[in-house]
Structure 1
Amino acid sequence: MQGAKPSGDQPDGTPETGALGRYFQLGARGTTVRTEVLAGVTTFLTMAYIVLVNPAILGSAGMPVAAVAAATCFAAAFASILMGLVANTPLALAPGMGLNAYFSYTVVQQMGVPWQVALGCVFISGVAFLLLTATGVRQLIVASIPPYLFAAVAGGIGLFIGFIGLKDAGIVVANPSTFVALGDLKAPGAALAIFGLVVIGALSVWKVRGAMLIGIVATTLAGWLTGQVSVSAQPYSLDALTATAFKLDLGGVLGLSGKQGLGLLEILFVFLFVDLFDNIGTLVAVTKRAGLMDADGRIPKLNRILFTDATATIVGSMAGTSTVTSYVESAAGVQAGGRTGLTAVVTGVLFLATMFVAPYAQLIPLAATAPALIIVGGLMLLPLTEVEWEDPLSAIPAFLTVAMIPLTFSIANGLAFGITAHAALKLVRGTIVKSDWFLLVLALLFVFRFVWMGGA
C-alpha cells in the first residue's frame, strides 16, 4: 500500500508496542489506538439509528419490538467485532436498510409468510452466500451484472425506504383516484414527523455526529411533551431479549416451495443478491476512502470480508433479525482516521453495551423513526450519479430498476426489470459476448418468473 509506514512503527516513528498495535498493524497503517477508538465511536454514532429504526420496520411484520431491538444490537456487535478481528478492516455491519423493509412489507405482509419462516429464509441465504464465496461463484455473479445496475438498485432501495418513511409519517397517504396523495400535514403524526425532518436535516447540515439518533430522540421527546405519544412499555426483562432468538422456522421454508412455487426462490434471490450488491458497493466506497485498495484496485482480504458478512447474516437470523450487511456509514469512521479492524471492534463493543437498554426502543413512535427513513432514503440516491444517463443502454434498465422497486413495493421486481432490460438491449444492439451467458440465464429466469407468476 502506497504511503504506508514500515510495520512496527508508530506514525511518529517510535517503535510500536502492545498487543493491539501488533495485531491490528497500527503502525503499518499510520494510525494509533486513540485514533481508532475515536473512529469507532464516530461510526457507532452515525449508524446507531438502526437500533430504533430496524425494530420499527420489523415490528410491522408482527415481531416483538423489544426483542428485535436487542437482536439488532447483538447482530451488529457480533458482526462488527468479527469483521475487525478476522479481516482487520474498519467496516461495521448491522441489519441492512432496504432488506429489512423487503422482509417486513413484501415477504411477510404481501406474500403472507410468517416472520419465523422469513427468518429461516434469511438463514438459508446466509448459508448460500458462504457457499458462493467458497466456490468462487460470487465472482461470476458480480461479473455478469454491470456496475450501473448496482447503483440503480441502491437508488431504487433509497426511494423505497423514503416512500415507506413518508407513508409511516402520514405525509403520503393512499388515494383511490391517484393511488397516492398528500396527507393532512396538520395531523399530529405528520406534524411530529416534519419536526423530526427539520431537526435531522439541520443537524446533518451542521455535520453533527449522530444527527439521526439525536433527531429520533428529540422527536420522541417532543411527542411525549405534547401528549402525542403515550409513555408505556413492557417491563424490561431477559425474557424480552429472547422472544425472537432461535425462532426461525427452517421447516416452514421447505414448505414454501410447495405452496408458493417460485416465491421461495424470489425471496432467497433478493436476500442473497441485494446483500451481495450492497456489500460490493460499500466495500469499494469505504476501502477506497481508507486507502486500503492495492495498486490494481483490488480489496485486500475480500474473501474474509464476505465470509464474515455471510456468517453475520446466519447468526443474525438466529438472534431474530433480517439480513446483516456492511454499512456505508463506516466511511464516517474512516473520515475520522480509522484504518484498521480496531475501529470496527470498538463500534461492535458499543453496540453490545447498547443491547441491554435496547428493549426500550418500543417507546419510540413511528413518527419519530419515519424522518430517519426519509433522510436515509435520500442519502442512498448518491450512487445514481454513476449511471450514464445519456446512454440508453444503461439509462433504460437503470430507470426501470429505480422506478419498479418503490412502485411495485418489491426489490425483486426492480432487479428483474433492470437485468432483463439490460440483457434484451444488449441482444438488440448486438453486443452480447460469450462471457454474458450467465446474464442471459438470469434474464431468462426472470422472464419465466413473470410468465409463471404473472403480477405476483
Structure 2
Amino acid sequence: MLAKLFSYHPEKPIDLHREITGGLINFMAIAYIIMVNPLILHANGAGFPLNAAITSTVAIIVVMTIFASFVIKLPFVLAPGMGINAIIAYNLVLHDKLSVPTVLGVVLFSSVLLFIFSVTKIRQIIVHAIPEILQIALSAGIGFFLFFIGIKNVGIVSANNNTIIGIGHFDLPIILTCLGFIAASVLFIKRKIYAFLLPIIVISLIYLIVYPQSLPKTFIQMPDFSLFMQIDMLAALKLSVLPAILSLFIVNFFDATSTTMGLLAQLHFNSQQEKGSYLKKSLLTDSVGGIVASFFGISPSVIFVESSAAIQNGAKTGLASFITALICIPFIFLAPLIGVIPSAATSPVLMVVGLIMLSNIRQIKSVNFEDIIAIAITVIMMPLCFSITAGAIFGILSYTLLKLMLGKFNELSPTLIVIAIFCCGWFWLN
C-alpha cells in the first residue's frame, strides 16, 4: 500500500526504517528555516509581520512537501528558498520600497513564468543542454556550499577585517560541532541509518544541559494567518515592477533547477528516461510551490538542498518527505521549540552531507583543461558568492566562452549559447 502511494516502483518493498529516519533527519536539517526565513523577511520590522511569516512558512513547507511526496515520490522537501527570501527582503522591500502585497504579486508572476517554462518543456530542454560535467560540478558545488554553511553557522570560520575570512574563537559549541562531525562521519562510513540523527539529538541534549537558558520561555504560539490571500496582482503588473519579476524569475529558475539536478545526481535510476521523468515532475512541482506560496503570503518554496541528508541516509521514496511534513505540522503552534536545536547540532550534518556531495566530482573522468577550469569555477564560486545561482551561472559562462574562444563549436549547442546570454542578463539585473 505504502509503495503504491509513495513510489513509482510498487513491486519493490519500502525500507520503513530508512524512510522514517530519513524523514526525521530531513526535518532536523530544515528546521532552522521555520525561524530564519521569517526573520529575513521581517527585515528588522520593515517587511513581513514576524508571527504571520512563521505561520506561512510552516504552512507552505507542509502543503508543498506533502504534494511532492505524492507527485515526485522522492525524499524531497520543499521550503522557502533561502537566497530568494534575501532578495525579497533587501532588494524588493527595503531597496525598491515595494509593499508586501505587491511583492507577493511579484512572487506569483515570476512563478507563473517558471510554471510555463516547466509545462512547455522549455525548462527541461535548458537542463538537458547543460553538459554532464557541469551537472556533476553543480552537485559538487552545492556540497562545497553546504560544508561552508556548516562551518560558518557555528563560527569555525568568521569574518575578518584583515583577511576577509579567518578562524573563529573555539568555544564549546565549536568543539561539539567538531565532535559531531567526526561522529557523523564514522557512523556514515559504517553505514548506520542513524548516522545523522543520533549526533543531532546527543549534541542538542548536551547543549541544553550546559546552556539551560536556551530553552524558550513559552512553547505555545497561536498561528497568525494574516498574510494569507494578501496578494496585490494589479500593483505587480505595473511596468516599473517588471524588472523585479524578471530578476526573481531568473534567480528562482537557476537556483531551483541547479539544486534539483544536484539532488537527482545522487540517486540511481534504471535509465535516462526514468531520470528525465523524475526531473520533469520535480521541476513542475517547485514551480507550483512558488504559485501556492504567493497566496500563502510567503517567499517561493523550492526543492531544498538539505534533502540530501535523507538521500544519503538511504531514503528513496516520498514516504520520507511525507514524514518530514507531518513532523512540521505541530510547529505552527510550537515555533519557539525550533530554537532548541542549536547550530552546533545541525552543522555537523551539513558538513558531512556537503563532503558526500562534493565527492561526486569523482564521476568526472577524462576531461580537457578548459573543462577543468569551468568545473573549478562552478564549485568554488558557490560558497565564495554564497549563492548556488551565482556558481551555476559562472560555470555556464566560463564553459561556453572557453569553447567559443578555442573554436570548439561542435561541443556547444544553440540552447547552451542562449542560456549563456541569459546568464549575462542575470549580471545586469544584479
Give the TM-score, by structure 1 length: 0.74
Distance 1:27 1:425, change over 3 A: closer
SS at match of 1:49: helix
- Measured in 2, the distance between the counterparts of 1:120 and 1:154 equals 32
Pick the structure with greater CA Rg.
1
SS at match of 1:269: helix
Distance 1:424 1:178, change over 3 A: same
Task: Give 2:157's aligned residue.
Answer: 172
In terms of mean alpha carbon deviation, does 421-430 or 348-357 score higher?
348-357
- Measured in 2, the distance between the counterparts of 1:265 and 1:368 equals 38
SS at match of 2:196: helix
Kept in 1: contact 2:107–2:290 (CA 8 A): yes
- Measured in 1, the distance between the counterparts of 2:103 and 2:352 equals 27
Distance 1:213 1:60, change over 3 A: farther
Q: Does 1:374 align with 2:351?
A: yes
- Measured in 2, the distance between the counterparts of 1:38 and 1:356 equals 28
| Residue 381 (structure 2) aligned to one of 404, 412, 417 | 404
Task: Give 2:342's aligned residue.
Answer: 365
SS at match of 2:31: helix
Task: Give 1:148's aligned residue.
Answer: 133
| Residue 43 (structure 1) aligned to one of 4, 18, 22 | 22
Structure 2 runs not aligned, ≥5 long: 43-48
| Residue 162 (structure 1) aligned to one of 147, 154, 179 | 147
Which amino acid is 2:409 matched to?
A: I
Task: Give 1:384's aligned residue.
Answer: 361
Which amino acid is 1:219 matched to?
A: I
Task: Give 2:181's aligned residue.
Answer: 197
Kept in 1: contact 2:289–2:300 (CA 8 A): no
Task: Give 1:8's aligned residue.
Answer: none
Which amino acid is 1:128 matched to?
A: L
> Aligned-pair distance for 1:409?
2.5
- Measured in 2, the distance between the counterparts of 1:380 and 1:248 equals 38
Kept in 2: contact 1:83–1:92 (CA 8 A): yes
Q: Which has the higher helix share?
A: 2
- Measured in 2, the distance between the counterparts of 1:81 and 1:359 equals 23
Q: Does 1:272 align with 2:253?
A: yes
- Measured in 1, the distance between the counterparts of 2:379 and 2:127 equals 19
Task: Give 2:284's aligned residue.
Answer: 307
Distance 1:67 1:196, change over 3 A: farther
SS at match of 1:286: coil
| Residue 55 (structure 1) aligned to one of 23, 27, 34 | 34
> Aligned-pair distance for 1:151?
2.3
> Aligned-pair distance for 1:361?
0.4
- Measured in 1, the distance between the counterparts of 2:355 and 2:196 equals 13
> Aligned-pair distance for 1:342?
5.8
> Aligned-pair distance for 1:389?
6.8
Instruction: State the Cα deviation string for residues 210-242 of structure 1 (Å, max 9, x = none).
Output: 543443333232222123753224551323x54
- Measured in 2, the distance between the counterparts of 1:374 and 1:248 equals 38
Distance 1:348 1:188, change over 3 A: closer
Equivalent residues in 2 for 1:10-409 (5 A)?
20=1, 24=5, 29-31=10-12, 35=14, 37-38=16-17, 40-55=19-34, 57-58=36-37, 61=40, 63=42, 73-86=58-71, 89-95=73-79, 99-100=81-82, 102-103=83-84, 108=89, 123-185=108-170, 187-227=171-211, 229-239=213-223, 242=225, 258=240, 265-283=246-264, 285-286=266-267, 288=269, 291=270, 293=271, 299-300=276-277, 303-316=280-293, 318=296, 320=298, 322-325=300-303, 327-329=307-309, 331=311, 335=314, 345=322, 348-352=325-329, 357-388=334-365, 390-409=367-386
SS at match of 1:177: coil
- Measured in 1, the distance between the counterparts of 2:8 and 2:379 equals 43
| Residue 426 (structure 1) aligned to one of 403, 407, 416 | 403
Instruction: State the Cα deviation string for residues 171-220 of structure 1 (Å, max 9, x = none).
Output: 112222221111121x3443343344344444434444354344333323
Which amino acid is 1:131 matched to?
A: I
- Measured in 2, the distance between the counterparts of 1:44 and 1:137 equals 32
> Aligned-pair distance for 1:164?
2.8
SS at match of 2:215: coil
Instruction: State the Cα deviation string for residues 411-439 of structure 1 (Å, max 9, x = none).
Output: 33322321111111221232325972232
Instruction: State the Cα deviation string for residues 18-53 of structure 1 (Å, max 9, x = none).
Output: xx4896498973245xx4655541431231223423
Structure 1 runs not aligned, ≥5 long: 1-19
Distance 1:283 1:66, change over 3 A: farther
**What is the Cα-based RMSD across aligned positions, in Å?**
4.1
Kept in 1: contact 2:382–2:389 (CA 8 A): yes
In terms of mean alpha carbon deviation, does 300-309 or 245-254 score higher?
245-254
Count of residue pairs the alignment pairs up: 417
- Measured in 1, the distance between the counterparts of 2:393 and 2:229 equals 32
Which amino acid is 1:55 matched to?
A: I
Distance 1:184 1:328, change over 3 A: closer
SS at match of 1:173: strand
SS at match of 2:165: strand
